[in-house]
Structure 1
Amino acid sequence: MDDLEQAIVISFETGAVDSALKSQAVTYCQQIKETPSICSICIEKLWFSKLVQVQFWCLQTLQDVLRVKYGSMSLDEQSYVRKSVFSMACLEVIDNENAGRVVEGPPFVKNKLAQVLATLIYYEYPLIWSSVFLDFMLHLCKGAVVIDMFCRVLNALDDELISLDYPRTPEEISVAARVKDAMRQQCVPQIARAWYDIVSMYKNSDPDLSATVLDCMRRFVSWIDIGLVANDAFVPLLFELILSDGLSEQVRGAAAGCVLAMVSKRMDPQSKLPLLQTLQISRVFGLVSGDVDSDLVSKVSALLTGYAVEVLECHKRLNSEDTKAVSMDLLNEVLPSVFYVMQKCEVDSTFSIVQFLLGYVSTLKGLPALKEKQLLHITQILEVIRIQICYDPMYRNNLNSLDKTGLEEEDRMSEFRKDLFVLLRTVGRVAPEVTQHFIRNSLANAVESSSESNVEEVEAALSLLYSFGESMTEEAMKTGSGCLSELIPMLLTTQFPGHSHRLVALVYLENITRYMKFIQENSQYIPNVLGAFLDDRGLHHQNFYVSRRAGYLFMRVVKLLKSKLVPFIDKILQNLQDTLSQLTTMNFASRELTGTEDGSHIFEAIGIIIGLEDVPAEKQSDYLSLLLTPLCQQIEAGLVQAKVASSEDFPVKIANIQFAIVAINALSKGFNERLVTASRPGIGLMFKQTLDVLLRVLIEFPKVEPLRSKVTSFIHRMVDTLGSAVFPYLPKALEQLLADSEPKEMVGFMVLLNQLICKFNSALHDILEEVYPVVAVRIFNVIPRDGLPSRPGAVTEEMRELIELQRMLYTFLHVIATHDLSSVFLTPKSRAYLDPMMQLVLNTSCNHKDITVRKACVQIFIKLIKDWCAEPYSEEKVPGFQNFVIEAFATNCCLYSVLDKSFNFSDANTHALFGEIITAQKVMYEKFGNTFLMHLMSKSFPSAHIPQDLAEQYCQKLQGNDIRSLKSYYQSLIENLRLQQNGSHVFR
């Protein structure tokens, strides 16, 4: 070995070679690459070196040089490289016994040689090297080595240039078109003939070579004349290969790939359909029943599915009755095998089962009636869906415990099933009776298997039923159309195997909930429904996830059945006694489940049932006491324990108090205001006593946010439930909630005040008179008069809370103003905050980025003007307010802010704001009369450079009664004024 060969070998070394030595070797190789004579060096090494590392390095270097420097190479150098690599590929060995033969090297060296030739073809064919393919074919008689090399060159050309499976540059697309056009005119027929001769000759003696040639041919079918391969010579040969048991699977599979390429070739459907007919594809149907893991079965499966897709496409695109009949016959012929492939075999990744089946089902939609064969196909499609949606048994334990693997598999399957369920519902609309019978049989088969090993089958059958219900009309569900009247009773009265598994239990309960419309109409099944939820299939299920979900679904069922459950109350409470006891004593701090899974829905369900007026008053009182008493005791005990709890135990005690409050809140949702205050005040008294207990939580732990928010939620609830009877409790409650409130807590506090104002209106005046000054001082201490930036650059959590507080303040002020409570702003205690409030509202009405907030602020001004300003020339109710409105609001908000280009008239929200601004101006004229008009004419309009005549026209419009005309004129005025300010329009 010379120095270069040594350096190349070291640079390729991956073992224990000194890193410094390897780096030195790589550097040396790179230096050699830069020498002007690098092509000669590489060619010489390729002729004489037998080291595969050297051969590969030289070929790679040649390819790099051609790609980067071809245009700057001399004609002699180009010719030298061309002749040399072509001679190597065609086995033209020089007369030297020590010469190396690159074409007899390992595959990676031969592939690299093929890529070098493909690169030369890229630059030189057909203008410089027009005979490359014809010259190459003259050497094919040398046997397998050259034939193999020829195929590798064609494959490299496909990979590097022609195939559209890879992204191509515009230049590459242009070169590919040039190469293909030249090959079509010059040599493709000869190449096709060579393929046929070689395969015919070597199919038995050298199956690997035959497979290589067939794979090469498959690549070219998409762009050559179809008649060169789809003819009386080639097609029989290909099917002979596919059907020959004695041949290797590799050759048979490669032949199937060629037929698939013919089938998939883009063609006019008028031409494609006869081709598909002549193939007589039924000859290969039996092959898919072989070993599903074999390469041949995989290739034939891909052929059949590809064939079916093309037949279906022809059926869609052809319009004549004859061609449609032919395509449907072909489709009917192949579909049973396609269904078998879908159920038993590994489907090719390029084939979409759902897309194909949806396409087929869509062809059946317009038919007046389905034939027997089509109904059979529908059943087979449903079987495909059932098999596809089955979980893999290997994940059974993971899915039951819902560990990380189980959660990932459930998420994956949930996504995977979406399209399949769309297909199911589509099939259900085309053939509802067949679909229902299939689901019934699937359920029956699942039930017949008493083995727990049938979990996946049972879950799939129940999932089919659940998904099918999504597309049913309410009327069909109520009447139990088709065999639904048989399916639902079967669902309710059957003990399904695998019910202990989380997946089966969940989908079973979801099904009952989905088909409740049927049960509402058939109340004889209510005991079955209750049994499913109250026994070990639901709330008493051994799996925690199931029992919690059952609580939520039970609540939904109760909401639908309501009064029909009154006769079963004792049974329900008796069955839930242990569950309720467990919920009120368990350590909820250790639970991660929240929302619909936290157990509180059981209390909501019970509250809905016992809160009905159909329940006798005495029993209702007993039931409520039975539930409220232990919950209140839990809170009282928790308060005592939390006071002395260690830092580790404190969160646990707080969490248990929190759950008890949530449970009480949920329980109360079943009781309405009329029941607890008018017809059964004793119930109202119990809730008042409960409210007393919960207010103690605020006193004991005012700064524990979770408790504070839950108590606030309960007060919200009591406002709706107790109505005005809640008034005596409000001062104490509001005082506690207001004490030491942070901005985030103030937001919640104002939400509560908004509810109270909307509920009680002016009746809340006295309470609001005391509370508003405290709210105002808190807020104006942290929010400046000109407001916070509505879109700050970097928003901290603290700033985000302040922005939310400011936004809620606008809502709060708006609610006060629009509920006839604006006098609250004028009380002695509140008077000090009037100016900062007005400045904030003014600034916001002009500048806030949120148009809906600006609109609310304009509406506040409108209401205050109406409340505080008498008719023209009357004494002012609020001294200085009129001047403020005319000079600040009318000018800055109603004129300047509208003139700003950011005020977009084409935006719906902005247009609504503009309407409020027009209303404000109208109200100002009604209240201030000529004073307002004079200010507009003498100050506002001149400052905006509005011509006198246009200003006068606007004032005339303002004095009229046509507000739509006023709005249209003012918009036109503003838009023209903007143009004038740009210097591109002059008023006339």
Structure 2
Amino acid sequence: MACQSVSIINMDEQALLGLNPNADACYRQKAMVYFEQLKESQDAWEVCAEALAKGIYSDDHVKFFCFQVLEHQIKYRHGGLSPAQQQLIRETLMKWLQGQLMNSQPEKPFIRNKAAQVFALTFVMEYLTHWPKFFFDLLSLVGLNPHGVDVYLRTLMAIDAEVVDRDILHSPEEVRRNTLIKDGMREQVIPSLVESWYQILGAYQQSHPEITCQCLEVVGAYVSWIDLNLIANDRFVNLLLSQMSVEDLREEACDCLFEIVNKGMDPTDKTKLVESLCQVLQSAGFFNVDQEEDVDFLAKFSRLVNGMGQSLVLSWTKLAKGGDVKAAAEALRALETKVPLLLQLLVHDDDDISANIVGFCYDYLNVLKQFPLLTDQQKTHVEDVMLAVMKKLTYDEEYNFDNEGEDEAMFVEYRKQLKMLLDRLAQVSPDLLLEAVGRVFNNTIQRWQTASFMEVEVAIRLLYMLGEALPASHGAHFSGDTAKTSALQDMMRTLVSSGLSGYQHTSVSLEFFETVVRYDKFFLVEPQHIPNVLMSFLDHRGLRHSSPKVRSRVAYLFSRFVKTLHKHMNSFIEDILSRIQDLLELAPPENGFPALLTSDDQLFIFETAGVLIVHGESPAERKQALMRSLLTPLTDAFRLLLAKLASEREEERQAALADCLSHAVGFASRTSKAFSNKQTVKQCGCTEVYRDCLQTFLPALSCPVQRGSLRSAVRSFLHRMIICLEEEVLPFVPAASEHMLKDCEAKDLQEFIPLISQITAKFKDQVSPFLQQVFMPLVLAIFEVLCRPAEDNDQAAALEKQMLRRSYFTFIQTITSSGMNEVLANQGVENVERVLFTIIQGAVDFPDPIAQKTCFIILSKLVELWGGKDGMAGFPDFIYKHIVPACFLAPLKPSFDLTDAQTVLVSTWNQIYQTRLFYILDVWTHFTKLVLLSFLQTLSECALTLKMIHLRRGPEFIQYLQQEYLPSLQVSPEITQEVCQVLQQPDAKVLKNYMKAFFQRAKL
């Protein structure tokens, strides 16, 4: 249909055409405009009310639209409605409901849900004032009409969402209102509501099971805050239990009973309630889990049993702490009689059923942990739980190791729950656990060639898990004394000498290597096993496994294995390096063959090679030769690739080449991880090798394309070389800095500043001439980037500038705190002033507590260096004109929040939660910063700056405050005197506390 303009008189009917999802865009737009008009109008919404009351429209979308308009009036404008209009809303709802009772077909569920929301909103607004008989009017109208009962039950759930649901945030005023509503309902209507539920549950069990299920949901929702005796009585519970046998109802009946069991109550009464429920359920045959085929019901039943079990644990805990020995013993007896049922559910083939009972199992083991001695029955229970856990840890045959999806992820999470049980079992009875695992492990490993991968994997997994579960006193250690060798040591010996490393399944291969590395200390006491295990790492079982997943993980595990045991590998070093030679090759972009390892995996191999070379027992000349042979292929390839990159015009190809160049630098950098300091580099004769690498890599800084990734790689290498080569690296720094400061972006500068700061802090006076030379070019580059215009709503650019500004102030702080004030002092008067003013600006003008704190630290240090009688000329004047005002003006800024950090944190979290902004990374970053730092820390540094001024200027400063500055701020003579007295106190803490109170008063 073509769109035409519509006169305002006819717009209502035509606008409604746009409510149809298939309508043209212009009609949908008209419907939206019409909706806004009806919402904002004082009385136009009454058209919608009349339409609902009289059932004028048959179109579902129009009816939904009318309820939306009504909902808006009640939610946002109820207080402004006249009594007659409020009465109209009540009458409209009741007439609409009356119409439902006469209809042969109920409304669509989405309309009934919206109607229930409107009923609930009206109830919340009017129950305490204009409509105290809300429920009685509703019940008398609907009777037992199924359409009416459906709306009544939906309304009760909508009221629960508005008044009770703890997951919905409410204002303090809404919380008070909701409390009054619940109190009023308890006094006036709850017994009648409960009676209506009982009637509904009995009346519709056969004819309308969906209504019965709704009613069970309502009972479960309301039972948490009403008198439990109204529900937990013979007639009601018997009705619920009878519905446990009805196929269409039993899952909801289970959920309802779960909510009843979870109701807070006296521990003795709770024990009796649970026991009575269990007796009835057991006599009805529900404890015969093996005979039940409906896994969905069993999952619900398992959750119910879990609730009952945890309730009994809580009752026992309270009674035992309270000293009621008899009642506690009864609760413990009740608890232990449920363990056989717990075990049936825990060991069930369906993991959802098993997972639902883990909480009860964990809590029961926690109870046993508190007993010094276990009874024979309790020991049997512990052993049975162990066997169940071991069985359930086993993979299913259907587990897809090559393409893990949602089901696989759920099993991994489920395994984590089982691990918690295993850890708790270790605390209850470590000896029993060690014995049980040893039995399973040895039985499986003896027949590993014929056992399924699931059996073999779980046997090794259990051995692996013992490392965290068992305390050292129970075997989680290894001894060189054969008379004292532990069961754990015996299992490790069996593992590495069994040949099991050759088992052809990904899960077993991974578990083998994980366990070998978890227990690498075993090889310190039995080093004779190292050669065989080394070969398993190096051949088709490990680094050359057919699975990329195994190869990747083994690359990391191999590096850990070598780091621990390199002293025992001296005779194998060159053999190992020869065997991994092809894994150390830089894969050029044009190579069409898939590499065995990714570049990330190769980093671990290069680090491993470095560790082997550096920590071997070869003479320095041999180490130098080995290191050069390791790094020369990288530098040779780097030169060739860099030349290709400079002449390459295709952007995708440029990116691939730059990526490869970055990897080359990263690999060389990773080999240096083997050195702890300059001394070890010299001892190994490798200084010249790394100097050559630097010489090769630095030209990449002047490459005109792909500058970001290349600069980042070379900058990281320089960081490492500062540690490894120390002053040997200094000749390279000026040229490198010059290249990195050309055509900078905010991110480039932000990453460059830590490098200069590292050099400054490490070499101090040695680099003073260089710093004096590079200081202003760096500062000017920062200023230029900060001054670049950006879009107002460009959050990423704003954040980059904020981080750069912080880095700049941190750099100035590094210079001043390193005692290198001459770097700043020798920049010329104009430049020094310019820098000083940026520090004042950072302290006062930017609402960034991290930057402000840094700026006050700098100002305090500068006052210490230059603020005395022999300080920099003109600086005392700067103190009085700019630093002192900054100390008072910054905390007085509206953006300077003097609230406690926790208050800032909570309010910010609420704001983020309510707007769902926590999905945005930038907001989360700001949120975490609030956790770490508050404005109070800045105020503390501000106070210390004033203290330092007093230390350097003495009575002159006090006189200035008394006679000039504080009077200019309209501070009274009494407060001025207070400030000056506190400043002269020796304890800085007194000043900090006083300044906080001073500024809080000033802001009132």
Q: TM-score, normalised by structure 1?
A: 0.70
Aligned 8 A contact 1:858 1:920 in 2? no
User: Which residue number in structure 2 is paired with residue 852 of structure 1?
Assistant: 853
Amino acid at match of 2:986: S
Match of 2:875 among 873, 885, 889: 885
User: Which residue number in structure 2 is paired with residue 608 of structure 1?
Assistant: 611
- Which of these two proteins has the greater Rg computed from alpha carbons? 1
User: Which residue number in structure 2 is paired with residue 4 of structure 1?
Assistant: none
Aligned 8 A contact 2:772 2:827 in 1? no
User: Which residue number in structure 2 is paired with residue 717 of structure 1?
Assistant: 720
Aligned 8 A contact 1:446 1:454 in 2? no
User: Which residue number in structure 1 is paired with residue 478 of structure 2?
Assistant: 479
Structure 1 residues 22-75: Cα deviation after superposition (integer angstroms, max 9, x where no partner) = 9xxxx9xx9999799999988xx9xxxxxx999x999x99xx99x999997999
Aligned 8 A contact 2:809 2:855 in 1? no
User: Which residue number in structure 1 is paired with residue 431 of structure 2?
Assistant: 433
Residues 670/249 of structure 1: CA separation in 2 closer, same or farther (3 Å cut): closer
Aligned 8 A contact 1:428 1:435 in 2? yes
Residues 538/125 of structure 1: CA separation in 2 closer, same or farther (3 Å cut): same
- The size of the alignment, in residue pairs, is 892
Residues 155/506 of structure 1: CA separation in 2 closer, same or farther (3 Å cut): same
Structure 1 residue 366: deviation in Å?
A: 1.2
Matched, 1:922 2:951: yes
User: Which residue number in structure 2 is paired with residue 835 of structure 1?
Assistant: 830
Q: Distance in 1 between matches of 2:318 and 2:407?
A: 40
Long gaps (5+) in structure 1: 1-6, 46-51, 90-100, 138-145, 873-880, 926-932
Equivalent position SS for 1:516 = coil
Counterpart mapping for 1:544-693 below 5 A: 544-581=548-585, 583=586, 597-612=600-615, 614-645=617-648, 647=650, 648-671=652-675, 673=677, 675=679, 679-681=683-685, 683-693=686-696
User: Which residue number in structure 1 is paired with residue 885 of structure 2?
Assistant: 896
Q: Distance in 2 between matches of 1:515 and 1:525?
A: 13
Residues 215/614 of structure 1: CA separation in 2 closer, same or farther (3 Å cut): same
Aligned 8 A contact 2:394 2:454 in 1? yes
Residues 675/102 of structure 1: CA separation in 2 closer, same or farther (3 Å cut): closer
User: Which residue number in structure 1 is paired with residue 776 of structure 2?
Assistant: 776
Structure 1 residues 399-422: Cα deviation after superposition (integer angstroms, max 9, x where no partner) = 525xxxx36666665666555544
Match of 2:940 among 911, 923, 927: 911
Residues 16/441 of structure 1: CA separation in 2 closer, same or farther (3 Å cut): same
User: Which residue number in structure 1 is paired with residue 547 of structure 2?
Assistant: 543
Structure 1 residue 902: deviation in Å?
A: 0.6
Amino acid at match of 2:365: V
Amino acid at match of 1:268: D
Equivalent position SS for 1:965 = coil
Structure 1 residue 759: deviation in Å?
A: 3.3
Aligned 8 A contact 2:298 2:353 in 1? no
Structure 1 residue 611: deviation in Å?
A: 0.8
User: Which residue number in structure 1 is paired with residue 916 of structure 2?
Assistant: none
User: Which residue number in structure 2 is paired with residue 287 of structure 1?
Assistant: 288
Q: Distance in 1 between matches of 2:21 and 2:885?
A: 78
Matched, 1:514 2:518: yes
Residues 184/495 of structure 1: CA separation in 2 closer, same or farther (3 Å cut): same
Structure 1 range deviating more: 588-597 or 419-428: 588-597
Aligned 8 A contact 2:306 2:356 in 1? no
Matched, 1:965 2:976: no
Q: Distance in 2 between matches of 1:231 and 1:617?
A: 87
Q: TM-score, normalised by structure 2?
A: 0.69
Match of 2:467 among 469, 472, 481: 469
Structure 1 residue 721: deviation in Å?
A: 2.4
Counterpart mapping for 1:195-344 below 5 A: 222=223, 249-250=247-248, 267-278=265-276, 280=279, 281-283=281-283, 284-293=285-294, 297=298, 301=302, 303-319=304-320, 320-344=324-348
Calculate the aligned-residue CA RMSD, in Å: 6.4
Q: Distance in 2 between matches of 1:653 and 1:712?
A: 18
Equivalent position SS for 1:273 = helix
Residues 176/779 of structure 1: CA separation in 2 closer, same or farther (3 Å cut): closer
Counterpart mapping for 1:453-468 below 5 A: 466=464
Structure 1 residue 363: deviation in Å?
A: 1.5
Amino acid at match of 1:965: P
Residues 256/778 of structure 1: CA separation in 2 closer, same or farther (3 Å cut): closer
Equivalent position SS for 1:844 = helix
Aligned 8 A contact 2:457 2:508 in 1? yes
Q: Distance in 2 between matches of 1:603 and 1:733?
A: 25
Q: Distance in 2 between matches of 1:384 and 1:825?
A: 71
Amino acid at match of 1:889: I
Q: Distance in 2 between matches of 1:74 and 1:972?
A: 55
Q: Distance in 2 between matches of 1:478 and 1:361?
A: 25
Q: Distance in 1 between matches of 2:494 and 2:699?
A: 52
Q: Distance in 1 between matches of 2:994 and 2:944?
A: 15
User: Which residue number in structure 2 is paired with residue 942 of structure 1?
Assistant: 964
Residues 165/523 of structure 1: CA separation in 2 closer, same or farther (3 Å cut): farther
Structure 1 residues 207-252: Cα deviation after superposition (integer angstroms, max 9, x where no partner) = 6689988996896695998889877888889878978xxxx64588
Aligned 8 A contact 2:517 2:561 in 1? yes
Structure 1 residue 887: deviation in Å?
A: 0.8
User: Which residue number in structure 1 is paired with residue 927 of structure 2?
Assistant: none
Residues 568/924 of structure 1: CA separation in 2 closer, same or farther (3 Å cut): farther
Structure 1 range deviating more: 725-734 or 422-431: 725-734
Aligned 8 A contact 1:217 1:258 in 2? yes
Structure 1 residue 844: deviation in Å?
A: 0.7
Long gaps (5+) in structure 2: 1-12, 29-33, 39-43, 480-484, 899-934
Residues 33/799 of structure 1: CA separation in 2 closer, same or farther (3 Å cut): closer
Aligned 8 A contact 2:244 2:254 in 1? yes
Q: Distance in 2 between matches of 1:835 and 1:308?
A: 77
Aligned 8 A contact 2:383 2:432 in 1? yes
Q: Distance in 1 between matches of 2:793 and 2:20?
A: 50
Aligned 8 A contact 1:855 1:913 in 2? yes
Residues 840/377 of structure 1: CA separation in 2 closer, same or farther (3 Å cut): same
Residues 619/292 of structure 1: CA separation in 2 closer, same or farther (3 Å cut): farther
Aligned 8 A contact 2:197 2:215 in 1? no
Structure 1 residues 712-750: Cα deviation after superposition (integer angstroms, max 9, x where no partner) = 333333333233444555555555556666665455555
Aligned 8 A contact 1:458 1:498 in 2? no
Structure 1 residue 607: deviation in Å?
A: 0.8
Q: Distance in 2 between matches of 1:954 and 1:216?
A: 69
Structure 1 residues 288-342: Cα deviation after superposition (integer angstroms, max 9, x where no partner) = 2224326765665555444434433332333422222222222222222233224
Structure 1 residue 576: deviation in Å?
A: 1.2
Equivalent position SS for 2:542 = coil
Structure 1 residue 896: deviation in Å?
A: 1.8
Counterpart mapping for 1:59-208 below 5 A: 159=157
Aligned 8 A contact 1:342 1:353 in 2? yes
Structure 1 range deviating more: 341-350 or 288-297: 341-350
Residues 106/920 of structure 1: CA separation in 2 closer, same or farther (3 Å cut): closer
Equivalent position SS for 1:686 = helix
Q: Distance in 1 between matches of 2:980 and 2:209?
A: 94
Q: Distance in 2 between matches of 1:82 and 1:727?
A: 86
Structure 1 residues 831-875: Cα deviation after superposition (integer angstroms, max 9, x where no partner) = 564431243225414652523321342255246428xx8x76xxx
